[in-house]
Structure 1
Amino acid sequence: MVVGRRLSILARVAGLAAILSGCSGAFPTSGPKVSGDPSIPTDPQELLPHTLINATPHVADVTARDATGEGTLGSFVSQGRAAEVRLGIGDTIGVTIFEAAAGGLFIPDQAGARAGNFVTLPNQQVDRSGTISVPYAGLIPAVGRRAPEVQAEIEQRLRNRAIEPQAVVSIIDQKATQVSVLGEVNLPSRLAINPSGERVLDVIARAGGPKGTGYQSFVTLQRGSRKRTVYFNKLVREPSNNVFVQPGDVIYVYTENRSFVVLGATGLNGKYNFEAEQTTVSEALGRGGGLLDERANPTTVFVYRMESRRVAADLGIDVKVWPKDHIPVIYQFDLRAEDGLFTLRQFLIRDKDILYVSNAPAVEFLKVLTLLRVGVATLNEGNIARSNFNTLR
């Protein structure tokens, strides 16, 4: 009878364990249960739509084309020419007037007492009306004109008063043709554009260069109402993005620690910053302490990523069914395959990726056994307590 009672108790405990083992939320776990098949649920409240892709060397090659996430940023590619330096309001200019002989409008008869047959006028700013003042020539329009054009007009106005006048106009201080370089540079400032033309990297260099390393730096170019952001190293690698700056441009350099998260059956879960421009999945796993031998399932190592539409299309995903710009993709790695570690070494981690290692099936089975053991022990303790109580009576 006692044996029958114990068997009945064990049967009830086993039945409870079987029921719990069939419930996905019955046991504590370090992460989600990922299906082995691609899944695009129809009910968005049930599960976020996503695509599951087996990571292969080909997949690694495709995703490596946008290894730093540059596809999510803009581009500076332009066919614009170097800015032409023209006079503008606020520019300070100098005017020197030469005459062919003494005794003219500006040169007295005693020319030998002078350093030469010229006179230099005081420096002056182009006023808000866009003009400068030249004695005997009046107000000379300057805004939007090149220095030779202003020179020609001064000479034309003085032709009937001075002796074969010649004028030289020089820009003393440029205000109207400047660019602003701000943010994480060593010398933030407004810089006058060189008449020979300057590119984005030129003005960043004149501002002392970026404070951070190249793989941490990003550059935003604002031109009027338009704004684009480019990865700094892309400016260096792709000269087509190193465009000529234009007057009024604002260049903002900032640093951002790109990072990834390691979760699941690894030695050390956590968030890790990139220590170089590129980090592979194998390096990321190494920084996370590697797979735990007693827990990890080497066939289900996952990388969660919001993939760009261009890369998703290259992977064969039908991007037409995805309304948003970024597509949730889960990449699955099988480390028991012969080339599994090579794929791990070839696949590049990207900013904001989540690396997750799931538990092995045996771990879930051990949880069931643990539950059985706890249940049996609890029932035994209850029986012992009841027996002691009966004895006391």
Structure 2
Amino acid sequence: MHSERRKGPRLGAAALTILLAGCSLPAATPMRGAVERTTEYPVVAVDRALAKRLSQRTPERFGAEFTRAGIVDADRIHPGDQLNFQIFETVDAGLLGSTGRAPTLIGPIEVGGDGAVSLPYAGRIQANGRRLEDLRGDLETRLAEQTPNPQVIVTRASGSGFSVTVSGNASGGGVVPLTYGQRSLRAALAMVGGAQGDPALVTVEVMRAGKRGRARLDQIQTVPGQDIALRPGDAITVTTEKPRVAMLGASASQGAVPLERAGETLAAALARAGGLSANAGDAKGLFVMRSTNAATGSEKPEIYAFDMTQPEGIFAADAFALEDGDVVYVSEVAVSRTGRAVRTLLGFTQPVDQITSLGG
């Protein structure tokens, strides 16, 4: 009787073996072998040296047409500038109507599109490209023909055309006048409170006379010549990148993972996502799928393979910089799928290593 009671379970285990041999769950994601055998895209095994080469990127910088432009003379007058005039006369009954020899205040007067300004008793005077001091002397000469020994002071009003605009992801924004202390790009950004985010993820774009220049903020801060001189009318736009990668397959968690900094490595991002799944992740099947390569300029999709069972593979993952849009894929070990098939057939969720009790 005892042997007969054990016959049923033994037959059940044998039947289960036959069922598993002829039945398996459909593959939800490709196994490591399927990825490695693909012929549509190149699969590149990555070691530490290759990881470092692939991670070398040439950051965006301003070209020569921007870096060669010298600091603009803040005294030069340009169309759109707003000018204030103070005129002192040495007689009690002045030409311009002042009494008690108080100065006559005129302005602000905008410099016209033709670069000229008009003043009473002086007529229309060309101001574009001239220094404030030169315009002052010209006015005194013209007024001296009608009033004895006039004295003139010319100043630029705040918010005049001698300015740039800052917009985008800066702490503030608006119109920034180009005064003596703030005629460079960094000075203008500082005037609006600076840019937000990791400087290596912040791009500053300058539009000047129909030409566009771009540079990363960390390059502007550290590379000589990248803190370019500004020109009146420059339009500055600050953009902060938000790079992210997709974590798929048998990782501990799946979904979009934001990169915390520029050049964040595969090992760091994978660790923040919880690493490989302890029960399902294939340590030999870690892949990065990249549509385009910013380091090489390649437009052809490539697949980079990492063997995390070897120290070289771990070091390579720690040196491999991820890029925005990368897909990090962890293949599933075969035993994990077998276990899911067993649980589906038996209708419960016991681990595979406990199923052997059916035969005992």
Q: Same fold (TM over 0.5)?
A: yes
Q: What is the DSSP-based 3-state SS (H/G/I as helix, E as strand, rest coil) of the residue aligned with 2:51?
A: helix
Q: What is the DSSP-based 3-state SS (H/G/I as helix, E as strand, rest coil) of the residue aligned with 1:173?
A: coil
Provide Cα deviations, 1:209-254, integer angstroms capped at 9, x if missing partner: 2344545543332223333444433333434332222211222223
Q: Which runs of 5+ in 2 are unaligned?
A: 1-10, 348-360
> Conserved in 2, the CA contact under 8 Å of 1:88 and 1:126?
no
- Residue of structure 2 aligned with 1:83, choices 58, 63, 72: 72
What is the identity, as a one-letter code, of the residue corresponding to 2:309? R
Query: Is residue 2:108 matched to residue 1:124?
Result: yes
Q: What is the DSSP-based 3-state SS (H/G/I as helix, E as strand, rest coil) of the residue aligned with 1:198?
A: coil
> Conserved in 2, the CA contact under 8 Å of 1:93 and 1:171?
yes
Residues 1:175 and 1:107: Cα distance change in structure 2 (over 3 Å): closer
**CA shift for structure 1 position 207:** 0.9
Report matched runs for 1:9-24 at 5 Å: none
**CA shift for structure 1 position 356:** 0.9
What is the rounded CA distance, in whole Å, between the counterparts of 1:241 and 1:31 in structure 2? 47
2:163 corresponding residue in structure 1: 178
1:350 corresponding residue in structure 2: 323
- Superposed CA RMSD in Å reads 3.8
Q: Which runs of 5+ in 1 are unaligned?
A: 1-5, 42-49, 314-318, 320-325, 375-393
**CA shift for structure 1 position 123:** 1.9
What is the identity, as a one-letter code, of the residue corresponding to 1:358? S
Provide Cα deviations, 1:81-139, integer angstroms capped at 9, x if missing partner: 2233433444322223457x66997599xx9x647xxx444223125464333333222
What is the rounded CA distance, in whole Å, between the counterparts of 2:172 and 2:277 in structure 1? 48
- Residue of structure 2 aligned with 1:279, choices 230, 245, 264: 264
Q: What is the DSSP-based 3-state SS (H/G/I as helix, E as strand, rest coil) of the residue aligned with 1:244?
A: coil
- Residue of structure 1 aligned with 2:82, choices 77, 82, 92: 92
1:36 corresponding residue in structure 2: 36
1:53 corresponding residue in structure 2: 44
State which drifts further: 84-93 or 266-275: 84-93
**CA shift for structure 1 position 194:** 1.6
- Return the TM-score normalized by structure 2: 0.75
Residues 1:204 and 1:127: Cα distance change in structure 2 (over 3 Å): closer
- The alignment-based identity, stated in percent, is 24
Q: What is the DSSP-based 3-state SS (H/G/I as helix, E as strand, rest coil) of the residue aligned with 2:296?
A: helix
Query: Is residue 2:190 matched to residue 1:209?
Result: no
Residues 1:327 and 1:102: Cα distance change in structure 2 (over 3 Å): same
What is the rounded CA distance, in whole Å, between the counterparts of 1:32 and 1:227 in structure 2? 46
**CA shift for structure 1 position 269:** 1.4
Residues 1:51 and 1:224: Cα distance change in structure 2 (over 3 Å): farther
> Conserved in 2, the CA contact under 8 Å of 1:125 and 1:132?
yes
What is the identity, as a one-letter code, of the residue corresponding to 2:124? L
What is the rounded CA distance, in whole Å, between the counterparts of 1:194 and 1:143 in structure 2? 17
1:222 corresponding residue in structure 2: 207
What is the rounded CA distance, in whole Å, between the counterparts of 2:61 and 2:321 in structure 1? 22
> Conserved in 1, the CA contact under 8 Å of 2:55 and 2:321?
yes
What is the identity, as a one-letter code, of the residue corresponding to 1:242? D
Query: Is residue 2:350 matched to residue 1:359?
Result: no
What is the rounded CA distance, in whole Å, between the counterparts of 1:276 and 1:312 in structure 2? 21
What is the rounded CA distance, in whole Å, between the counterparts of 2:31 and 2:215 in structure 1? 35
> Conserved in 1, the CA contact under 8 Å of 2:198 and 2:261?
no
What is the identity, as a one-letter code, of the residue corresponding to 2:246? V
1:62 corresponding residue in structure 2: 53
> Conserved in 1, the CA contact under 8 Å of 2:82 and 2:161?
no
Residues 1:371 and 1:191: Cα distance change in structure 2 (over 3 Å): closer
| Pairs aligned (count) | 328
What is the identity, as a one-letter code, of the residue corresponding to 2:36? G
Residues 1:214 and 1:249: Cα distance change in structure 2 (over 3 Å): same
**CA shift for structure 1 position 144:** 3.8
> Conserved in 2, the CA contact under 8 Å of 1:218 and 1:253?
yes
What is the identity, as a one-letter code, of the residue corresponding to 1:223? R
Report matched runs for 1:1-393 at 5 Å: 27-31=26-30, 34-36=34-36, 39=39, 41=40, 50-66=41-57, 74-77=60-63, 78-85=67-74, 86-97=76-87, 114=101, 119-126=103-110, 128=112, 130-195=115-180, 198-214=183-199, 217-308=202-293, 311-312=295-296, 326-363=299-336
> Conserved in 2, the CA contact under 8 Å of 1:17 and 1:372?
no
> Conserved in 2, the CA contact under 8 Å of 1:182 and 1:251?
yes
What is the rounded CA distance, in whole Å, between the counterparts of 2:339 and 2:26 in structure 1? 11
What is the rounded CA distance, in whole Å, between the counterparts of 2:336 and 2:249 in structure 1? 13
What is the rounded CA distance, in whole Å, between the counterparts of 1:65 and 1:247 in structure 2? 36
What is the identity, as a one-letter code, of the residue corresponding to 2:77? L
Provide Cα deviations, 1:235-277, integer angstroms capped at 9, x if missing partner: 3343433222221122222334321221111211121222344
